[in-house]
Amino acid sequence: MVHLDRITTRGGDTGTTGLGDGSRLPKHHPLIVAIGTVDEANCVLGVVRLESLPASLLSSLTRIQNDLFDLGSDLACPPGMKFEDKVPRIKAEQVGRLDSDLVIANANVAPLTSFVLPAGTRAATWLHMARTVVRRAERDVTAAIAAMPERSFNPELVRYLNRLSDLLFVWARQANGADEIMWVPGGG
């Protein structure tokens, strides 16, 4: 369980951020950037939840927001550290839940005949925004992995983010329904 008795630690005043094992990295380090982008994706999903959405989608979004905290913890706590068994990690089961959600969501949308513009209803537009932030998180996580070849990373991290961005795209299509706006090449 997390216990925070103060928010201001002043530890970041020197331009570094602490990891779960007590080590510190510069705030511009690819790993810290990746953790920040995952947090940003979580915040955008919080905005999505302000929209009028079906209860099942709101429940899934709550689960996903919790998963994203697990993902951030997984990134911030190197494997093999003290109290390893207490560190939330992204598991194959979490990726599997996204796969299941995708099967259900895909059954309710028509096949694509063109690319979809990230527009339409407010809910769909916010879901598209969340999708793009999750895609950036995926790029940032892979950049962090490449920047730290000496460290082990959970392979489920990238799988989770990749699957989540796909799911957000399909949910955006569902939220648009008949209001979906298709790309018309040269139609600008």
pLDDT score of 44: 98
112-153 pLDDT, tens digit per residue, is: 888 998 999 999 999 999 999 999 999 999 999 999 999 999
d(CA 159, CA 92): 9
Q: What angle do CA 103, 101, 124 make, to 5 degrees?
A: 100
Lowest mean pLDDT among 64-68, 113-117, 150-154, 167-171: 113-117
* pLDDT, mean over the chain: 91
pLDDT score of 47: 97
d(CA 45, CA 65): 7
Q: Give the position of tokens 């961005």.
A: 165
pLDDT score of 71: 97
Which residues are bridge partners to 18 per DSSP? Answer: 24
pLDDT score of 147: 97
pLDDT score of 60: 96
Confidence category of residue 70, pLDDT binned at 50, 70, 90: very high
pLDDT score of 135: 98
Neighbours of 133 (CB within 10 A): 21
Exposed (0-12), middle (13-18) or buried (19+): which is 94, by Cβ within 10 Å?
buried
Nearest to 36 by CA among 163, 151, 159, 139: 139
pLDDT score of 99: 97
pLDDT score of 177: 85
Q: Judge whether 71 and 31 are in contact, CB under 8 Å.
A: no
89-121 pLDDT, tens digit per residue, is: 999 999 999 999 999 999 988 888 889 989 999
pLDDT of 51 strictly over 70: yes
Domains of the chain from N-terminus onward = 24-179 (1.20.1200.10)
Confidence category of residue 168, pLDDT binned at 50, 70, 90: very high
Confidence category of residue 8, pLDDT binned at 50, 70, 90: low
pLDDT of 3 strictly over 80: no
pLDDT score of 83: 79
